[in-house]
Chains A and B, each alone.
Chain A
Amino acid sequence: MTKDKKGMSASRRQFLTGAAAVGAGAVAGTVARAAGPDPLITEVQDWANGLGHGVDEVPYGLPIEFEGDVIRRNVPWLTADPISSINFTPIHALDGTITPQGCAFERHHSGAITLKKDDYRLMINGLVDQPLVFTYADLERFPRENHVYFCECAANTGMEWAGAQLNGAQFTHGMIHNMEYTGVPLRTLLNEAGLGAAGDFTDKWVYVEGADASSNGRSIPMEKALDDVLVAFKANGEALRREHGYPVRLVVPGWEGNMWVKWLRRIEVTDHAVESREETSKYTDTLEDGTSRKWTWIMDAKSVVTSPSPQAPITHGHGPLVITGLAWSGRGAITGVDVSIDGGKTWTQARLAKPGEKMALTRFYLDTEWNGEDMLVQSRARDDSGYVQPTKAQLRETRGLNSIYHNNCIQTWHVKTNGEAENVEVS
């Protein structure tokens, strides 16, 4: 990438405007006075005079053009090819917890395939009493459940193991989305095929694979399969998007995103883990001594401040400041988030927008005052298993630098006196 190619982006211009506003001297605790009447108020505006769009204009809408910054982005140098690759959710610009599907991240191994409901088939075979084939229409006739869960790529934050590398929460933490899923519990489908032949479940597995060329086959222990795994066909109220597995995907609450097999075509009950490519070559975590952890399924408690952050600088000058972010845990519900503005010397409990829900994103806020001082902003999540989000140094002590996956370290943003923020590491 060349320097001149970067140019001056929209948000950079916004940032400079904001910095000028700080210089103009809004003083904390003082309500700024208007220099004169505001023409946006005193003059009749077009939108108050003419007509807007009719209801027949947009049968299915996209965000208004002024939100053109809230999009998925990719990092071309991360992968050899954009087909087996990743892009990132613009978490720096979102609020609340539900991820809009249209900008929710994608990770494919052989591209986002087009699979019609009419062409869809789901097979259950292996150690079942009766191997079965379901059509999409069959799946809609089983009793359904609704749940909100996060899907976090195992590699989220993986580029940051060795140091501060990418400058923005979207890039460091955006391999995640959080949706309300509608679907059928996997246990209902397994029961339909009959698990008598499987006998004792303690050493049994299900192997799940997709209809795409990569197949993305993964082994899941029977205990999890019978617990909360969902065969989902709706997300955030509507059908899954093509890139998220249309028409059917697996939802594996709390577990690494790779196991959320998209375009799900087959579920096999086995008496062994298949040890497929995606659980041997990939999604295994190499430790300092050269041995590697396998089957690191759970995503540990994690959080990130989404604003202020490198892509969301402070542009409003001194005074009231909302520090906000996301926290989540694959081990259960978030019970609290602590925020530091001095790089972890002191911590303050943030306010959770709602009580944490199991294996779902939780929004936190710290309503504070900013007087233009340098800040080293951090957040630290806690969950109901008692787990406290560690620092990167703590993770490196147990894992070294080559784990690739499962980096749930505390993130630091350096917010400078002009409101700009940068991804840094601190001692």
Chain B
Amino acid sequence: VAQEGKFGLGRPALPEEVAAWDLDIAPDGRNLPVGSGDVWTGDEVFAENCAVCHGDFAEGAGNWPKLAGGQDTLDRDDPLKTVGSYWPYLSTTFDYVRRSMPFGNAQSLSDDEVYAITAYILYSNDLVDEDFVLSNETFMDVEMPNANGFIVDDRETAEAHFWTDTPCMENCKDEVKITMKATVLDVTPDEVGEDE
């Protein structure tokens, strides 16, 4: 019999089922599995599973994402956003690699391999020494350079002037000039598609 306001649909999730799917790691390291991996093991696992796209030193190959480098570029014209230069929490690296990488063969790595790869990515970003061992015990010892680089959406204050009862309707500008044209770049695909 359904409880008040309930329909009595679905069935209890079993602990094994929750454990299989609930893999997300909190920024404070909660939910990390017991395990460990060192930089040198990570180097090997990375070479085997990751380097074909992300480069031997996590510097990226071709158009694939660069995982290392870019420190102190965030306020420049063309910032390079990597785990080292941009990501605020190490938990995200472990969580994302374990659940969604390698691209095309996700969820194939053991927890220890994920610890090792994460250690290697940290090393590639000059954030740990070559003898570093990452584990659920040492995880929160790592300081991420851009941990304080984020603010919560502040549009309603920073952009308060976009709320206005009196948008200009007439004589809004003296002069209008074309300053940039898309056809100069000529990077738009053909109308009928690339394959034709």
Contacts and interface: CB of A to CB of B under 8 A. Distances in A.
Contact of B24 (A123, A141, A274, A298): A274
Contacts of A131: 12-13, 18
A338 interface: yes
Interface in B143-164: 149-155, 158-159, 161-164
B11 A272 contact: no
A286 B95 contact: no
> What does DSSP make chain A's interface, helix, strand, loop or mixed?
loop
> What does DSSP make chain B's interface, helix, strand, loop or mixed?
loop
A207 B95 CA distance: 13
B81 A80 contact: no
A117 interface: no
B6 A166 contact: no
A145 interface: no
B22 interface: yes
Interface stretch (A2-10, A52-60, A363-371): A2-10
A390 interface: yes
Contact of B169 (A124, A272, A346): A346
B172 A217 contact: no
Nearest to A3: B186
A333 to B, nearest CB: 15
Contacts of B99: 215, 217
A125 B18 contact: yes
B1 interface: no
A13 to B, nearest CB: 10
Contacts of A311: 191
Contacts, number: 264
Interface in B4-41: 5-7, 9-13, 17-18, 21-22, 24-28
B96 A132 contact: no
A163 B178 CA distance: 11
Contacts of A1: 187, 189, 194
A147 B190 CA distance: 36
A132 B12 contact: yes
Interface stretch (A239-247, A351-359, A418-426): A418-426
A191 interface: yes
A296 B95 CA distance: 22
Contacts of A297: 153
Interface string A44-72: 00000000000000000000000001010
B86 A276 contact: no
Contact of A80 (B64, B77, B189, B193): B64
A134 interface: yes
A89 B65 CA distance: 26
A291 interface: yes
A19 B121 CA distance: 58
A280 B89 CA distance: 8
A107 to B, nearest CB: 15
A382 interface: yes
A214 to B, nearest CB: 5
Nearest to B27: A275
A293 B79 contact: no
B154 A110 contact: no
A166 to B, nearest CB: 5
A390 B167 CA distance: 10
A215 B100 contact: yes
A276 B95 contact: yes
Interface of B: 5-7, 9-13, 17-18, 21-22, 24-28, 62-65, 74-75, 77, 79, 81, 83, 86-89, 91-92, 95-96, 99-100, 103-104, 106-107, 149-155, 158-159, 161-165, 167-173, 175-183, 185, 187-194, 196
